[in-house]
Amino acid sequence: MDLDLKGKTAVVTGGSKGIGRAVTAALLAEGMSVVVASRTPGEPDALHVPADLTTVDGVEAVVGQAVEAFGGIDVLVNNVGGASTEMDVAGFAGISDERWQRTFELNLFSAIRMTRAALPLLKASKGSVVNVSSLSAQLPATSPADYSLAKAALRALTPALAEELAPAGVRVNTVTPGPTRTGFWEGPESVCGRLATQYEMEETVVRERMISTLGLRTGRLVEPSEVASVVAFLASPLAASISGADYLVDGGMLKSV
Of 147, 184, 185, 247, catalytic: 147
Give CA–CA dist 189/194, Å, rounded. Answer: 6
Angle at 241 between CA 137 and CA 244, to 5 degrees: 25
Give CA–CA dist 155/141, Å, rounded. Answer: 17
Contacts (Cβ under 8 Å, ≥6 apart) of 157: 108, 111, 112, 131
Q: Say if residues 46 and 69 touch (Cβ distance below 8 Å).
A: no
Give CA–CA dist 211/221, Å, rounded. Answer: 7
199 noted as active-site residue: no
Residues assigned a catalytic role: 147
